[in-house]
């Protein structure tokens, strides 16, 4: 059986051109799954329903690959899953047909490009973090334990106050006191803390 998938990003956009192209490619209107949703959405009900419907020997036709996948990595994974299930994917604009040797090659190229995209993003992130660290900047949320608060917590703990009492007095959690101040002085644990 031949299925089609058409998607537009916003409700104001029109699906007519995609429906016409799918019809011209031999897809029966009854087997066209349509969706008005951003391609970046992970949960697209019509796509999910379509993927549950197709099986070995079926053909899935799209007008363009970007109608199907959110990113190169997502698209490569999706196309690979379809091929593994024995479903042929045809993209009209890119002239990709996974039933041919050239189409299968394109699937492998997509997967390689997706992996390269992911690797490059990870490299850029690492390089940016290293550059920031070299300039004395660290990522993450600033600590609620300023040097003054830390000194007050250590002094209170040294005087025998419990972690819970010190945490209440400073307006922080007991876990924060344990993480920053425990070990500096003898600590008294209250029941339940």
Q: 39 and 75 in contact (C-beta within 8 Å)?
A: no
Catalytic residues: 9
Report the distance separating Cα 170 and Cα 168, nearest Å. Answer: 6
**For the chain, which ranges sit under pLDDT 70?**
70, 183-193
pLDDT for 166: 93
pLDDT for 191: 42
Q: Which structure tokens are listed for 29?
A: 């209107």
Selection from 87, 73, 127, 101 nearest residue 2 by Cα: 87
Per residue in 69-80, pLDDT (tens digit) is 767 778 888 888
pLDDT for 182: 76
pTM: 0.60
pLDDT for 85: 93
At 99, give phi and psi (nearest 5°): -85, -10
Per residue in 82-109, pLDDT (tens digit) is 989 999 999 998 888 999 999 888 878 8
Three-state helix/strand/coil letters over the chain? CEEEEEEECCCCCCCHHHHHHHHHCCCCHHHEEEEECCCCCCCCHHHHHHHHHCCCCCEEEECCHHHCCCCHHHHHHHHHHHHHCCCEEEECCCCEECCCHHHHHHHHHHHHHHHHHHHHHHHHHHHHHHHHHHCCCCCCCCCCCCHHHHHHHHHHHHCCCEHHHHHHHHCCCHHHHHHHHCCCCCCECCCCC
86 Cβ contact partners less than 8 Å away, ≥ 6 residues apart: 55, 56, 57, 58
């Amino acid at each position: 059986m031949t299925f089609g998938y058409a998607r537009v990003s916003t409700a104001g956009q029109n699906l007519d051109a995609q429906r016409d192209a799918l019809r011209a490619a031999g897809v029966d209107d009854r087997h066209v799954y349509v969706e008005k949703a951003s391609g970046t959405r992970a949960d697209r009900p019509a796509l999910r329903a379509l993927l549950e419907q197709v099986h070995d020997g079926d053909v899935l036709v799209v007008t363009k690959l970007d109608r199907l996948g959110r990113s190169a990595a997502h698209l490569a994974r999706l196309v690979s899953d379809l091929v593994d299930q024995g479903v042929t994917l045809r993209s009209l604009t890119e002239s990709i047909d996974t039933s041919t040797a050239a189409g299968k090659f394109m699937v492998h190229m997509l997967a390689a490009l997706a992996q390269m995209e992911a690797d490059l993003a990870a490299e850029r992130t690492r390089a940016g973090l290293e550059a920031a660290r070299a300039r004395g900047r660290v990522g993450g949320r600033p600590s609620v334990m300023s040097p003054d608060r830390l000194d007050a917590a250590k002094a209170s703990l040294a005087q025998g106050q419990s972690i819970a009492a010190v945490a209440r007095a400073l307006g922080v959690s007991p876990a924060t006191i344990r993480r920053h101040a425990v070990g500096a002085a003898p600590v008294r644990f209250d029941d339940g803390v």
